Structure 1
Amino acid sequence: MSSSLSSVYSPSGSADAAATGVAHGHGAAVGGVLKRCRELVRPSLVEAVGRLHPWTGEMAAYALGWSDAAGTPDPGGSEGKGVRQALAVLGAEAVGADGGVAVAGAVAVELVHTFSLLHDDIMDGDGLRRQRPAVWKAYGTGPAVLAGDALLALAVQCLAEAPGPWTGEAVRRLSGTLNTLVHGQAEDLRFERRPWSGAGAVDPGQYRSMAEGKTGSLLGCAIALGAVLGGAPAGTVAVLEQAGRHLGVAFQAVDDLLGIWGEPAVTGKPVHGDLRLRKKTYPVLAALAGGGPAARELAVLLEAPGLLDGAAAAHAAMLVEEAGGRAAAREEARRHLDAARRGLRGVSLARGAAEDLDALLACLLDRSW
């Protein structure tokens, strides 16, 4: 794997396609920032994955969009937008350091993110990821679990080997984030067993807390790692991390919108996919919490046994919107993006990086990816 990984990864394929997708819908500036940060991190990420066992390395390359399930280069594969990588790099640049000092942190958070996707897809039963079979579907459940474990171990190792005086603090921060991430995932899984209405039902506030742990913690960690490795004082690091957590909650709210109303060709998931699986997401929970006839009809529909077919899922989506869930999720995202902006403006940051961060925040509410 390590000897052929550079040929498996196609720098002119999936990475540029991802940047183009962001630029087309959300502004060339953001697409350029994401592309620049990915290209800075890419060599170290490729080198890190090349250290894995050939089999787990092959699965990692597939998960990252570099190759197909046969281990051959896949220029059409999607590696994602690299938001977490960019946050790490921008975190360092925002405190006046060169973005290169954050590369180890960016590699670590990208590996952790990929690990979490591998395991999440298994736990959620999601068979598709980025418009092709999830790793567990392509390789099997056991191998996918093993590949996720390998990526997690590699993430900690890569960060622990980073040069400089701040490595210990960076590793401690990542370790704490991993515990928070698992806590959030545990809550998400427990939500599946709770009723849709009545005593014990999940409310939007509980979902928000889960999202901050499951999604917000890693985005907050990404920008904080950049700042830590850039030598920032503790107060500045704390503000940046909290801004990243707000960004993560907003990111999850928009993800939930896309899980119901997203374009399958862009999201890689079927239309109304989250409703078909009866996932407890923010738009649905907000709709149920609002009360009214549409909310009551929605609760009855969701409490019926079995998966929802296409017609039932489409009707459920209409009820969620009618009950105000779609608007509530957009407002949730907007509120947390505004909180992230306020936090970033409350500390002294390097102008260029601050502008890049603000542009990234501005594009997320209306993203389609």
Structure 2
Amino acid sequence: MPTQTGLRTPAPQATARARELVEPALRAAVATLHPLPARMAAFSFGWCEADGTPAPSPGGKGVRQAFALLGAEAVGAPEEAAVQAAVAVELVHTFSLVHDDIMDGDERRRHRDAAWKAFGTGPAVLTGDALFALAVQTVAGAGGGHAGRAVAHLADCLGELVRGQADDLLFEDRPWTGPDAVSIPEYEAMAGRKTGALLGCALSLGPVLAGAPALQTGALVEAGRRLGVAFQAVDDLLGIWGDPLTTGKPVHSDLLRRKKTLPVLAAVARGGGATGRELTRLLGSETVPDATAAQRAAALVEAAGGRGFALEEARRHAAAAQACLRGAGLVESATGELVALSAQLLERRL
């Protein structure tokens, strides 16, 4: 992904600065929960182990809180609005991860047990619900005259996230080929909701709390949606070819689950001849793929152009997001940091 000269250095500082500003407020918010979901939430944030022992290092990259901080700064919003927005977004993000792991049956998250695996499904569902409620409370309790508008904005983003997640679940039961197959535009629309809605919320919630013009908040939402598609495409690539030491999941994990992801859908749609037929046969088999079959499927996806297509789509949507940011009349320094952060994240994840 090309980046502008001079924009490569701010991104690490942005995430570190966001963590320093946001984490104390986030910990204080989580501490108001009932002790059971509070401990599970602390575990999910990477602050402690399952038994409550402090974790040696914090979990997660703090990407969304950095976007929230920079989005607020991009419209000149006060620091208080930025921190409140970042806390709410981190709560929603973690709620979505806890529930996603349950729905997907994923037993690992960030190189250790997922919350449902460590504590049980019922307590994990409860913890996700508690985090969601706390996010709404955080925004509703924000000072100033725009809290009501911000709650409505958060609700809209959450509605989009749920629609995207629902589409993703329905895709699992659709065929790989034929008129009912999942198309690439359908998949990217799903990603724009499932992944992009929360990124758009991160970028725009602080500005909404500060009363920023609709033109600017709309551009930030659209930038987040585009980044969501780009990030999902990269996640899909990592789900097949990612290093398990980085992803925390087995190699070819998405293929072992026969998950419909962008590189696979592109390979099926674009791959012709013997390559396409063999790939479709492997994916459509009633037998669950083993490691050998998954390795063969990965080679076929790459040979059919699925890997290259997903990479180019990630770059295309990231460029569109950066154009949205540059064209919205935002504070130049914050815009530069946002562009740098989005570019570096995609590069690192690739």
TM-score (norm 2): 0.95
The CA distance in 1 between the partners of 2:279 and 2:129, in whole Å, is: 39
Tell me if 1:352 matches 2:324. no
In the alignment, which of 101, 116, 127 is matched to residue 147 of structure 1? 127
In the alignment, which of 20, 25, 28 is matched to residue 44 of structure 1? 25
- Residues 141-200 of structure 1, C-alpha deviations (whole Å, 9 max, x = no match): 111111101111111011110111211111100011111111111110000111111231
Moved more, 148-157 or 343-352: 343-352
User: For residue 315 of structure 2, what is the amino acid of its counterpart?
Assistant: R
User: For residue 84 of structure 1, what is the amino acid of its counterpart?
Assistant: R
- Show the counterpart of 2:215: 235
| Higher relative contact order (Cα pairs below 8 Å, separated by 6+ residues) | 2
Aligned ranges 1:96-107 → 2 under 5 Å: 96-107=76-87
Q: Offset of 1:221 from its aligned partner?
A: 1.0
Q: Offset of 1:240 from its aligned partner?
A: 1.1
The CA distance in 1 between the partners of 2:81 and 2:157, in whole Å, is: 20
Q: Offset of 1:28 from its aligned partner?
A: 4.8
User: For residue 45 of structure 1, what is the amino acid of its counterpart?
Assistant: L
- Show the counterpart of 2:3: none
Aligned ranges 1:283-322 → 2 under 5 Å: 283-292=263-272, 293-322=274-303
CA separation of 1:79/1:277 partners in 2, compared to 1, >3 Å: closer, same or farther? same
Q: Offset of 1:81 from its aligned partner?
A: 1.0
Q: Offset of 1:229 from its aligned partner?
A: 2.2
The CA distance in 1 between the partners of 2:157 and 2:349, in whole Å, is: 27
User: For residue 97 of structure 1, what is the amino acid of its counterpart?
Assistant: A
> SS in structure 1 opposite 2:349?
coil
Aligned ranges 1:1-369 → 2 under 5 Å: 28-76=9-57, 78-292=58-272, 293-368=274-349
The CA distance in 2 between the partners of 1:134 and 1:86, in whole Å, is: 24
Paired residues of 1:89 and 1:100 also in contact (CA < 8 A): no
- Residues 65-91 of structure 1, C-alpha deviations (whole Å, 9 max, x = no match): 001110110114x52111111111111
The CA distance in 1 between the partners of 2:26 and 2:288, in whole Å, is: 39
User: For residue 146 of structure 2, what is the amino acid of its counterpart?
Assistant: W
The CA distance in 2 between the partners of 1:171 and 1:301, in whole Å, is: 46
- Residues 251-275 of structure 1, C-alpha deviations (whole Å, 9 max, x = no match): 1111111111111111111111111
Q: Offset of 1:99 from its aligned partner?
A: 3.3
- Residues 271-313 of structure 1, C-alpha deviations (whole Å, 9 max, x = no match): 1111111111111001111031322211100111233211111
The CA distance in 2 between the partners of 1:368 and 1:28, in whole Å, is: 17
- Residues 56-111 of structure 1, C-alpha deviations (whole Å, 9 max, x = no match): 111101110001110110114x5211111111111110012233321111111111
Paired residues of 1:90 and 1:226 also in contact (CA < 8 A): no
TM-score (norm 1): 0.90
User: For residue 302 of structure 1, what is the amino acid of its counterpart?
Assistant: L
Moved more, 192-201 or 53-62: 192-201
> SS in structure 2 opposite 1:319?
helix
Q: What percentage of aligned pairs have identical amino acids?
A: 59
User: For residue 301 of structure 1, what is the amino acid of its counterpart?
Assistant: L
Paired residues of 1:259 and 1:271 also in contact (CA < 8 A): yes
Q: Offset of 1:36 from its aligned partner?
A: 0.6
Paired residues of 1:220 and 1:245 also in contact (CA < 8 A): yes
The CA distance in 1 between the partners of 2:349 and 2:229, in whole Å, is: 17
